[in-house]
Structure 1
Amino acid sequence: MTFADLLDRARALMTSERAILGICGPPGSGKSTLAQRLANALGNSAQHVGMDGFHLARSELDRLGRTPRKGAPDTFDAHGYVHLLERLKPKRGNAIVYAPVFRRDLEEPIACAVPIGPDIRLVITEGNYLLLPDSPWNTIRTLLDETWFLAPEENQRREWLTKRHQAHGRTPEEAAERTMGSDERNAVLINATASAADLVVHTPLED
């Protein structure tokens, strides 16, 4: 499958009503890269909204004792993410809806950073747990018009993930420990949800 194939499939969702496309997959599978590439190709009619903007702040993770497990389902504001998707679909009025973004350089979410105006016909959202069957995550699938699952070869995915951790300041040892520790435990959980997707995409994509 090529990027052009996926772009055509995304375009087909853009009718008179706003649609929401979900891109799911384990850490390091290329979700945000694909989502942003699609949004760029579709221009002013599409917007990329990441689930990672709903990471709990570091101070809250510390308070809850969940910092070592950052990235697990209970380290996100899942209800807040569901509520945002409910606000985005269907399009109502002329109001702008603001979404948060996750800044990897800060390792913190930033509120009201992504504006979704009334002219946006396709919201492309991506994250690890779009297909998780547990409440409240299981509400997400009902709000998505289509869900794609990215499933690259696992060793390749781990290599990409380790390099990403290093690029954001971790030592090679720290990066490898994170990849094969909490990230790997989360990946096992996420990969088990692939069968619920409308489309499974094996990356890297051909141009």
Structure 2
Amino acid sequence: MHQVVIRSDHITEIVDRVLANCKNVLPKRRYIISLAGIPGAGKSTLSSLVAQQLNQTVKTIVLPQDGFHLYRWQLNDMPDSEEAIRRRGAPFTFNAKAFVQLISQLNDPVYSQHIINAPSFDHKLKDPIEDDIHIEPDVQVIIIEGNYVSLRDPDWRDIHQYVDESWFIQTDIEVVRDRIIKRHLAAGIANNLEEATERADGSDLANAKYILAHSAPADVVIVTP
């Protein structure tokens, strides 16, 4: 496989690539991209910028993995609920089967002519909100964004068969660590710098190392300068 490398600040180059590639499938079906990366890599920011520019030409939507977090009550029902809650955000704390099932519907003729509803995630409630994202039939490009959308693990690996191109955003892990600490403080996930740092150095960086070790090679590597 020939892997393409693009800088994350070259948004126009990324957008032009999508527009050139999606011509081969539109309007017969949607063009679907997966965007993976470690926590704090900038996936949400990049996907939003790319979608914003693409929407000038083709209707585009971002479908985040976050809506498929298990509910807190589901974590509490796990055999080791304390560990599940502590590790929330790890692959096993998501409903990967439901995520893949929804992705499989995006180009299925049975579903694609109707509105497909997907969950979002409310960071204040710390739980998903069902049917909060509406994928209209006229959506042409979908960017599936999340930490684990390129994993080789069971269920997660099935995403690959439904996407036209896989992307991976590559960011220095120390830069990511600093972003995660600031994010935890801003979102109220941590009460102070010490707690935010402990969380970042624990579960978050453990997840990051797992992603780097267990993700399949991407078609496009997007490098943060």
Q: What TM-score bracket applies, with the shorter chain setting the length?
A: over 0.9
The SS at the match of 1:196 is: coil
Distance in structure 1 (CA, Å) of the matches to 2:217 and 2:144: 17
1:78 to 93, 96, 112: 96
Shift of 1:89: 2.0
Q: CA deviation at 1:69?
A: 0.7
For residues 173 and 149 of structure 1, the distance between their equivalents in structure 2, rounded to whole angstroms, comes to: 30
Measure, in 1, the Cα distance between the counterparts of 2:20 and 2:140.
11
Q: CA RMSD in A?
A: 1.5
Does 1:27 find its partner at 2:39? yes
Supply the distance in 1 between the matched residues of 2:67 and 2:102 (Cα, whole angstroms): 11
3-state SS of paired residue (1:12): helix
Q: How far off its partner does 1:192 sit?
A: 2.0
Question: How far apart are the structure 2 equivalents of 1:130 and 1:93?
Answer: 21
Alignment of 1:149-188 (within 5 A): 149-169=168-188, 170=190, 171-188=192-209
- Residues 31-110 of structure 1: pairs in structure 2 closer than 5 A: 31-43=43-55, 45-64=59-78, 65=81, 66-90=84-108, 92=111, 94-110=113-129
Q: Structure 1, unaligned stretches of length 5 or more?
A: none
Out of 131, 134, 141, the residue aligned to residue 112 of structure 1 is 131
Compare CA radii of gyration and give the structure with the larger one.
2
Which string of whole-angstrom CA distances, capped at 9 and with x for unpartnered residues, describes residues 25-81 of structure 1? 010001111112222222260011101100001121122111111011110000000
Pairing partner for 2:15 from 7, 26, 30: 7
- TM-score, normalised to structure 1's length? 0.93
Instruction: After TM superposition, give the deviation of residue 12 of structure 1 in Å.
Output: 2.7
Unaligned runs of 5+ in 2: 1-6
Moved more, 80-89 or 41-50: 41-50
TM-score between the two structures when normalised by the length of structure 2: 0.86
Distance 1:173 1:139, change over 3 A: same
Contact 2:153 2:214 in 1 (8 A): no
Q: CA deviation at 1:10?
A: 2.3
